[in-house]
A = this chain, B = another copy of it.
Amino acid sequence: MHPTIKDVAKKANVSIATVSLAIHGNKRISEETKQKVMRAIKELNYHPSRPARGLVSQKTGNIGFILTENHFLRSEPFYTQIFLGAELEAHNHDYYVLLTTIPEPLPKKIKLPRFVAERNVDGIVVAGKIPDNYLKHLENEDIPIVFVDYYTEEHDCSAVLIDNFNGGKMAVEHLIGLGHKNIAFIGGDMNHPSIKNRFNGYLSALEQHQLPISPKNYNLDEMNTTRENGYLAAKKMLARNKSITAIFACNDAMAIGVMQYLQEKGISIPEDISLIGFDDVEVAAITSPSLTTLAVPKFELGWEVIRLMDRTLNSNTIISNQVVVGVELKARNSTGVVKAC
């Protein structure tokens, strides 16, 4: 079996307390005995047991990572990329990440994640939107929570967020730069803060360039920002508004739905209508035409959330920080200069 602190103590001819103190560099231990202890540790290749240490320190060295089953399993690896980024950075901070998913549909009797119930994590990362009542349950446990790509206004809390507002603005400014004046927004699930902010960026860009803002130019009433709903929204939009030359879809999924509708109707992209998305999902590069979009650095979101968690856990005062991660315009073939008419 592995050596324990007792073995080290015996070998070094000191008490186990001395070993522990020596390990932690306590200055009441003389340099001489410290060396003796260290030698014994080396020889036995001793390492303190994490579970034992955790028992007394009430720290596990683990961070829980929660996301919905849907977010975990969906083919587009958005949240799994964040998770992998988190894994990577956790390693640098000597944490381990324990993953759990929230089942969907949520059972009536909500169960806490096992790692919370069993006190097996020091803090929790919540990735993406999760059901409100689930979040309530979590917040009852007094354990630090840090969000990534989501946040609630109710409690002010630490979060790593995408710069959705500026991303939305950049998208629209890209289109304006290409000469477009009649720019539509296609969105949905508008109480999702990310979408809301992208929309606000859209409004802000238009306003700043003194372009007309009209409700005719945006469609916000889909429930989910899915491909199918993008298709439907495009249909509605074009039914009531013929003069559009560009569309900003609130994410790539909807953008691809829009693309599908336009192509079915024989409207060519970008000649007739330019199209821009948001997220830079994997397929965005291989649709035809390839989709111009705002790339979200998913790995980086994962790093940042672990760093923020680390700061949260190591500051005795409760901090509430927002870290905002920028996005990058990926100009591809779905956007072009406005057609002369």
Contacts and interface: CB of A to CB of B under 8 A. Distances in A.
Contacts of A54: 51
A252 interface: no
Contacts of A60: 51
Given A51-B55, A54-B51, A94-B114, A99 B119 contact: no
Given A80-B84, A286-B286, A51 B119 contact: yes
A91 B55 CA distance: 24
Interface stretch (A19-27, A42-50, A164-172): A42-50
Nearest to A77: B77
A49 B56 CA distance: 12
A117 interface: yes
A150 interface: no
Contact of A118 (B50, B115, B282): B50
A99 B96 contact: yes
Interface in A86-108: 87-88, 91, 94, 96-101
Contact of A91 (B47, B51, B100): B100
A227 B14 CA distance: 59
A52 interface: yes
Contacts of A80: 80, 84
Contacts of A322: none
A120 interface: yes
Interface string A49-66: 111101100001010000
A119 B286 contact: no
Contacts of A97: 98-99
A2 interface: yes
B119 A49 contact: yes
Contacts of A84: 72, 80
Contacts of A47: 117-119
Among A50, A73, A88, the most chain B Cβ lie within 10 Å of the Cβ of: A50
A162 to B, nearest CB: 22
Given A119-B2, A120-B50, A120-B51, A91 B96 contact: no
Nearest to A60: B51
A50 B117 CA distance: 9
Nearest to A56: B51
Interface in A275-317: 282, 286
A94 B77 CA distance: 24
18 contacts: A47-B117, A47-B119, A49-B119, A49-B120, A50-B115, A50-B118, A50-B120, A51-B54, A51-B55, A52-B55, A62-B96, A80-B84, A87-B99, A91-B99, A94-B114, A96-B99, A97-B98, A286-B286
Interface of A: 2, 47-52, 54-55, 60, 62, 72-73, 77, 80, 84, 87-88, 91, 94, 96-101, 114-115, 117-120, 282, 286
